[in-house]
A and B are shown apart, each in its own frame.
Chain A
Amino acid sequence: MTPRRHVDEFRDPDAARALLRTIATRAERLDDPLAVMEVCGGHTHTIYRYGLEHLLPDRIELLHGPGCPVCVIPRGRLDDALWLADQPGVTLATFGDLMRVPGSGRHSLLDARAQGADVRFVYSPLDALELARTHPDREVVFVAIGFETTAPATAVTVERARALGVRNFSVFCNHVTIEPPLRALCDGGDSRIGAFIAPGHVATVIGTRGFEFLPAEYGRPAVVTGFEPLDILQALAMLLEQIVSGAVAAGRATVGNQYGRAVRADGNPTALALLRRVFAVREAFEWRGLGVIPHSGLRLAPAFADLDAEVRFRVPGARVADPAACQCGAVLTGRLAPERCRAFGTACTPDHPIGACMVSPEGACAAAFGFGGLDRATARAVGGPEA
């Protein structure tokens, strides 16, 4: 097979071993153990898939953050989506991952479909719009989820629906933004997070600038990072450099850019302009496991109210507490390793998830279930940095 550009070159095992040795050398100069949070579920997935955690020095701990959009959608919003799917004439369209997330009563959109609701899986919001155009007799509702990475695609779709005059299309908007939950984490009293691996794909839109508040207001260094194993290891080496050089202690922490091939300081101005035109910031939005966070969610702007499913259908706006057995909140804030949840692997598995973290391949629990199980000693014995 021919090497895949921008992929295989960032998976080179020799380079990974060399980076791991550099990380080990730098970690020896740490005064205290370091906990680094990777915010994005895509990073969590890479870390588990390649067993990177196990190859790192003991003094470095990785915390898995709240950046998996499927994982943070609360049960109430899912119950609302299930309610929408039950309305007469409605075709509900959404991404595959969301279809398996349980609402209250462990009932998912997939279950609703098995019971006769018209629920479709789409790959792109544009596919949902196309469904509406080809099925003028149906009310097509697209359940939008995702951070700033995905919201611009929804925004383009909304503007296209308007331009084409499609009247049987609307959006049930669950888009969220990255800054408020990160602030909530830093403001939380028990935070052990010493540094951040910042989400590279969100940063293609909001730029490295979107993470400046982390060093500026919280003194935490951050590195915007790509999704291959060398990307993550390089980011760790860059974060360690900021710490062991004394820059962080001297109040000179910065946002590094490891993902320069995709990310610029100012992000993507076209996408940012779309976000400003099409969305308005909600007063508050509920996150699974994290509770209600002010100004963290997006809704359609008033100018697009006719395309807003919440306006068109008077969605009940359910608020449902997280399931009692589920410790997703502690997992999503990096306070609990997924394997330590009481339900992990027993009551909660990818086939029968309790929490959303067990559903998406980017959820920390699903990643730990699929790829975990090694401990550090074993990993080293089979080819870690000291092998």
Chain B
Amino acid sequence: MCLGVPAEVVELPDPTEPRAIVAVAGVRRTVATDLLLDEGLAVGDWVLVHVGFALARLDAAEAARTLDEIRRLGADQPNPFDGAADV
């Protein structure tokens, strides 16, 4: 119910209308953009789609930061091969 599916904005057919055409896994779909009116959406942006609406814009720089943080966290533990590990 609360699912949001990442989708890429592929077309903004009419700048005066609150809607966008997005692609979800290759399938094109029209979504309402009323909730992102102040975001200045552009073709190539990624959004989360929920019940036919673009709910949030996905920030690529933040996504990259999170992935970096995940890698850093994963490395943040004793290496089992350096003998110093507390087993």
Contact = CB atoms under 8 A, between A and B. Distances in A.
Nearest to B3: A42
Interface string B72-87: 0111111000000010
Contacts, number: 146
A287 to B, nearest CB: 15
Given A4-B6, A124-B32, 7 more contacts: A7-B6, A9-B63, A18-B73, A21-B74, A25-B77, A28-B86, A204-B4
Interface stretch (A107-115, A149-157, A164-172, A184-192): A149-157
A262 B56 contact: yes
Contacts of B25: 4
A69 interface: yes
A18 B53 CA distance: 36
**Chain B interface main SS type:** mixed
Given A149-B55, A152-B35, A201 B2 contact: yes
A123 interface: yes
B42 interface: no
A355 interface: no
Interface residues of B, number: 40
A70 to B, nearest CB: 6
Given A41-B1, A42-B3, A262-B59, A149 B50 contact: yes
Interface of A: 4-7, 9-10, 15, 17-19, 21-22, 25, 28, 40-42, 67-70, 95, 97, 123-127, 145-147, 149-150, 152-153, 156, 199, 201-202, 204-205, 227, 230, 234, 237, 258-263, 268-271, 274, 360, 362
B78 A150 contact: no
A201 B52 contact: no
A129 to B, nearest CB: 11
A153 B4 CA distance: 13
| Most chain A beta carbons < 10 A, residue from B65, B75, B76 | B76
A270 B77 contact: no
A60 B52 CA distance: 37
A40 B1 CA distance: 10
B58 interface: yes
A147 B4 CA distance: 13
13 contacts: A7-B6, A18-B77, A97-B1, A123-B51, A150-B2, A201-B48, A205-B55, A260-B63, A261-B58, A261-B62, A263-B56, A270-B37, A362-B2
A270 B73 contact: no
B66 A234 contact: yes
A126 B53 CA distance: 9
A9 B69 CA distance: 13
B33 to A, nearest CB: 10
B46 A6 contact: yes
Contacts of B69: 234
Contacts of A5: 6, 8, 46
